Amino acid sequence: MTELTHFDKNGNPRMVDVSSKDVTYRVAVARGRIQMQAETLELIKAGNIHKGDVLSVATCAGIMAAKQTGGIIPMCHPLGLDGCEISFTFNETEPAIKVEAVVRVYARTGVEMEALTAVSIACLTIYDMCKAYDKAMIITGIMLVSKTGGKSGNWHSTM
């Protein structure tokens, strides 16, 4: 694709018109990670962060962010999501938490941005809730893992 679809023929920004597209089932998976001190990871796992249950709050924040993506990314279509799941995997050797979001919708456009936004905000929420313990946390690797549905079909990252 060589054409920039978010600009008209005069170079002005525009929201792409998807009204002629078919409604199809679409799924996007995104992931990222937040690296931290081993002590911080242990506090999260034990539920000993004084602000509360970090992963529950990060889950809610990620889902809320996915639902609001069309309102915060200028050319992104607002979508009524059919499902959003956030999961966490602990890695004691790094130490880090891997965050993954799976977003589903029946729509004319995909949910890649919603999945990426969910992961980003879940990671930022973990940072916010734990920054008193560990200001050196690093959020990295936020990426689209896969997407299904739509005109362009299925796509899976090779990374």
The sign of the CA dihedral 127, 131, 133, 134 is positive
- Residue 62: CB partners within 8 Å, gap ≥ 6? 84, 86, 99, 101, 118, 119, 121, 122, 125
Residues 6+ away with beta carbon under 8 Å from 72 = 65, 117
Q: Are 91 and 97 in contact (CB under 8 A)?
A: yes
Residue 8 is among the residues annotated as catalytic for this protein: no
The SS3 assignment for 69 reads helix
Element (H, E) at 112: helix 112-130
What's at 111, amino acid-wise? V
Residues 114, 90: Cα–Cα separation, whole Å: 23
Residues known to be catalytic: 128
